[in-house]
Amino acid sequence: MIDQKSSAPAHPSTPETVPGYVLRGLGLYELHADEILDSYQGGGRWLVPSGTDAGNVYEVRTGTRPERNRCECRGFASHGHCSHVVAAGRVAKKSAVCDGCGERVWSRELVEVGADSLSFFEGDVLCRRCAREHGEA
């Protein structure tokens, strides 16, 4: 005989509260995603606009190791996290570098190279312009 008792958790789950700096970072991403993408400096460095001081930007460093993320804003210096790192991290995750021209573009705009390519390796990714220029589209 199979015991069909309820598999309800022992403790009721409580909704997690999203920290304010994360919400502000997602807002910065929504408002300035293209601007942040265009500001890519290479080596995981981005220029992210301030959410409070118009015209002010902060250099942000992001990477695969979150403990190495950095921002030059006061909030990061005080707390070790900030909205600018969240915004830059979101752009980094949704973009990649074209293997043809080296420009960073939105991932949705990249074309993956197939096995029959004579110019690139299988699995390389190209922006639409490079894909057209090299007959990979």
Express each pLDDT in 56-105 by its tens digit: 999 999 999 999 999 999 999 999 999 999 999 999 999 999 999 999 99
Q: What pLDDT does 94 receive?
A: 98
The parent domain of residue 43 ranges over 19-93
Are 72 and 39 within one domain? Answer: yes
In order of 8, 58, 118, 134, the CA distances from 28 in angstroms are 39, 12, 41, 36
5 occurs within a structural domain: no
Is the same domain home to 23 and 88? yes
Residues 70 and 123 in one domain: no
Q: What is the mean pLDDT of the segment spanning 44-57?
A: 95
The domain boundary, picked from 93, 108, 123, lies at 93
Per the CB < 8 A criterion, the answer to whether 46 and 90 are in contact is no
Q: Which pLDDT band holds residue 131 (cuts at 50, 70, 90)?
A: very high
- Indicate whether 128 and 62 sit together in one domain: no
Count up the domains in the chain and report the number.
2
Residue 65, pLDDT score: 92
On whether both 82 and 122 belong to a single domain, the answer is no
Assigned domain for 10 exists: no
8 Å CB contact between 65 and 3: no
Using a cut of 0.75, tell me whether the model's pTM lies above it.
yes
